[in-house]
Chain A
Amino acid sequence: MLLRGLTWLVLFQLLGTAINHLLLPMLPGPIIGLLLLLAWLISRGEVAQPLSEASSSLLRYLPLLLVPPAVGVMVYAKDIAADFWAIVGALVLSCLLTLVLVGVLMQKLIHRQAARKEQP
């Protein structure tokens, strides 16, 4: 069952790679695969058992899969050191500003929608 789901995931990614090559060079193949799978799930209206099994097992180990590429930072230590304060400043400020903006905006919009429903 797990293998069947994995096969579907691989198929969707290969399909995405083909489309990336033929039509959409600016979108990475796996992202196109993700969109195709999403469209397929919406049209089917349910997630088949093998697919949900394969995706949840893969996603459970997602952090492990990310370790080798993250280790690549060791090659860029010099670039980070050169721009250290610019990086830290930009990351911290934009993170905190976005956090507040999104929270306040969403809450306002929810209240407005609720108010509109009460007085039709």
Chain B
Amino acid sequence: MNPDWQGALDAVVHHPLFGIGITLGAYQLAVAAYDKTRWIFLQPVLVSMLLVIGVLLLCGIHYPEYRKSTEILNILLGPATVALAVPLYLNLRRIRQLFWPTFTTLVIGGVFATVACVALGYWFGAEHMILMTMAPKSVTSPIAMLVAEQIGGVAALAAVFVLITGVLGAIFGPALLDRFGVTSPEARGMSLGVTAHAVGTSVALQESDECGAFAALAMSLMGVATAVFLPLAVSVIA
């Protein structure tokens, strides 16, 4: 009697734990690759995403099935978003002296980042759904995903746009800031944090502690400001 290889494979591949299994595996591989190479293109989320998509296509699993089996990870995203309040609070205490420069820059820079991206996208002929997904691209991913969904975009795409923006900012940011004579660590950190969120913050931390602190602060302030004002602005305009 032949063993039922096909049946066994199906049982494994369609087991409710399979989705979680490949996600955990892919993520650890991606983190190991990033730690080893320190190559900024190898953002763990981006690499794990590609690995998981590859496995799903190979096994012929559709996205809804994968989504359902990873529901448990998804449920934790809410409390993780709430938890962002803790680093924001710790950073807020550090900037009392430079409150007004930080605040002014955040308002002008944040509005500019969002408006410029949507206006350019519109001008280049992107459709409405894509525009609404690109609007929160300068914000840390959980917030961007929530906001994109709220204003008529797509959470999954938002996560990818956020990553692309972060990697771009991290690669070109330091050189570009040098060229324009931005030398103060506070200003460099602020710039990296507002545009390139978490990826930019990790680059800023490599420059100096002070630069990193401002990047972390800028990232969390920008996140909260976008989360609060972007849906409001869209509901007023639309």
Interface residues of A (CB under 8 A from B): 6, 9-10, 12-13, 16, 26-31, 33-35, 37-38, 41-42, 47, 51-52, 54-56, 58-59, 61-76, 79-80, 82-83, 85-87, 89-107, 109-110, 112-113
> Which of A10, A52, A65 has most chain B Cβ within 10 Å?
A65
Please classify the interface of chain A as helix (H, G, I), strand (E, B), loop, or mixed, using the class held by over half of its residues: helix
Interface residues of B (CB under 8 A from A): 19, 23-24, 26-27, 44-46, 48-49, 52-53, 56-57, 63, 66-67, 70, 73-74, 76-90, 92, 98, 100-102, 104-105, 108-109, 112-113, 116-118, 120-121, 124-127, 129-130, 134, 137-138, 141-143, 145-147, 149-150, 154-157, 159-161, 163-165, 168-169, 172-173, 176-177, 180-184, 186-188, 190-192, 194-196, 224, 227-228, 231-232, 235
Known: A90-B117, A110-B101. 17 other contacts (CB 8 A): A35-B85, A56-B86, A63-B44, A66-B145, A69-B74, A69-B155, A71-B67, A75-B156, A76-B154, A79-B129, A89-B121, A91-B117, A91-B137, A97-B116, A98-B194, A99-B169, A104-B181
Q: Please name all residues of chain A whose beta carbon is closer than 8 Å to the beta carbon of B180 when the two chains form the complex.
A: 100, 103-104
